[in-house]
Chain A
Amino acid sequence: MIVLLCSMLVAFGQNPELVDDDTVSKIDSSTDSPENLDGKQVEEGEDTVENKDVSEIAALLPVSLRLVNGIVLTGSMNLQDIVRWSPTSDAPVSLFLESGTTQSIDASQVDAIVQGHDASFDDMDSSTKRIDVEESQEAPAGANDDVAKLENPSVSGEFSFINPAASRYLYAPSSIPLQQGQGYVSQKILFTSLAFGVTDNVTLLMGTLVPIPLISVVGGKYARQINSDWHVAAGAEVFFLPFANTVSSNVPSAPLSIGFVSATYGDLDSHITFATGVMYEQIFSNGNVVHPIMIAGHKRMSDRLAVVTENWVLLNPDSLAEQRSPYVGSISSLAFRLVGRRDQTYQVFGQLITDNGYPRYTWDFGLVVVSTSIPSTLYDPVTDTTHYSLYSDVFNVGPMPWIDYTWHFGPARQP
């Protein structure tokens, strides 16, 4: 399994320009060589387009660039440079001139960017860019999906569409909310769950084991963005055993409940979440309160590939009062995520692909390790006391494979 995951990492962990992505590859087809830029062969030299990285060449677009002093320059720019550019950006933009040389221009000196060499700036304000891929190129599959990324400050701008699966890790939610009308259906081995954004801040969740609903869950999350880097959330989930009473009256019908607060740092593509809360369980005890600490991370490596890790540590504070370790157990995981996307238009039922033929589903493939630590104990009937040892037995289960299929419905994220 580890070898398989590593192979996937190698296969998919490429720069977005080099992966087999519909958007980029179709742009490449019209700009796949320097002579295609403006119909002429560029000269050889240190700074010629020919000597640039293949991935940069592949995504060049003809543009007109207006400087703050009013001068208009024409040439070509890397698509990624265009996406990343803003007047406050630290990184300079590179303009490939028709002479074949490259001119580096301070981002703050750029007033506006328009696609094409004969484009007009008349209807544009300062600090704007207008890139219309559909009009200038053969419309690539998925190009109309998630166009809003150009205007959304929470998007890193490194990828050609917005990550639709930023609201959760393998199981735990991030503090990034689904937007109103967005949702997903997730199938984790035999567990099916459905999440839906009731508003831009409130997400509801329900799930159950299939085909027999031996375990079910309902929950909700309130989340909001507090600035460009941080989201916060609070929520609760309750697990049910619908047939508990048919087995025994002693089996609790709601054996596990979790209330949590969380904070997420980062954007939709790269983020880390810290969460904690209260977990009331009656599975291993007669009503034990455990405090979980969850640290999870998501790093998008390319349009279609992300690395996800979700890690839980369960602590029992009552143990501290008895001078014992509060550690109860932990869950650690690492997975690769094949990212799908949503349509720009509102769609709920039926389609597995977007209007432009892109998968609307996300796959998670990973490994999970569950660990628990049980201290040795001795019951003394004379004093009616249970003595606990500082030594404990560690039980590890795994690594177990984790496979999750998630189908995204609802419209793409809006800025």
Chain B
Amino acid sequence: MHWENYTSLPEKFRNQRVFDGCGISGYINIDGKRESGKKIVDMLTILNDRENGLGAGFAAYGIYPEHDDCYALHFLFDDEPAKLDVLDYLADIGFIVQSEAIPTKTPPNISSPPITWRTFFHPQENKNITEDEQVFQIVMNINQNFEGAFVMSSGRNMGVFKGNGWSHEIAEFYKIEEYKANMWLAHSRFPTNTPGWWGGAHPFNLLNTSVVHNGEITSYGTNMRYLESFGYKCTLRTDTEVIAYLFDLLCRKHGIPIEIATIALAPPLFQDIDRLEDNYRIALKNIRATYRSAMLNGPFSVVVGIADPVPTMIGLTDRKKLRPLVAGVSEDENTIYMSSEEASFKRLMLNPEIDFSLKEIWHPKSGTAIVVKMGQGLLRDGLEKPLEKIELTVKGGS
């Protein structure tokens, strides 16, 4: 592990975009059953060809049921003064229900480990803006203006644990196996151009949305400038940040159904759209025209966790599927797994300590989303035609 650069990159590396190759994994229990982090650690750490020891992390949903009405803010601090600054600020603008260290297993003889901290928080009541919007602004403010502090995650009943090291080291450091979650996302990375920093590891989170991402967004400039006109500040200069904000914009601010938001991000080709019947053709063309700046280009595979209105896991690749994504469903059809490689599933199958087998393993089509919702099941398996399974009516269409 690298015991430095917790809350920001060294000055000389700032303003550079981070490029990396990655391993991603995730799973969701449709009935909401919470499971320890053991499986997700196994799934991720086997992908060690996809990392180089410069960053890994986990997002866990459903881990704080006793505080599920609070925003669980996960922090990294460089030192005590930075921590006190932020906690004072939070106490000024809202209510801290509980505030404590995130338990870690710091190896001996580390002189200055990061302060890992979590605060269960309510913003002050404000009729003019929603709580989500307030917390969104608080997170943007802390990450931009508070030296030595970084918000890792800001959702309800969930948390992100990440740092600069090999995935097995990060899992051990945060004692991931001790948390029980109903949806897990995990990420390990192989950055090419920076030494890596703790806050810059994935998953990337904003409110209830977390993203693990493998790839490079060639449309970054277009997407970033589009998001900026809606008030997002892309300060981290990573592609993943842009993906998380796009999901936030489309799903939360614009209220677009998830299965349609994924189409806006990785739309079908015009030659395929032209073959569809009227309603679908009109809808898809207008989605492409309206959200032309939200379209993600370049190689990527992502797994996204969204908690509102129901916990949802999404798997999506670029339109040419230049990065891998494989999915599996458990025998009882209750759990959906996704990963960069099938090795993640094989490892669980070979683990003598657990009884694990999959009913089916499949490869989603390029640019086609897998959508799993808690309580509702596998809504889309990533093998559908565009808008298949959706009964769409269009104003003015036939």
| Chains A and B form a bound pair | no
Mark A residues whose CB is within 8 Å of B: none
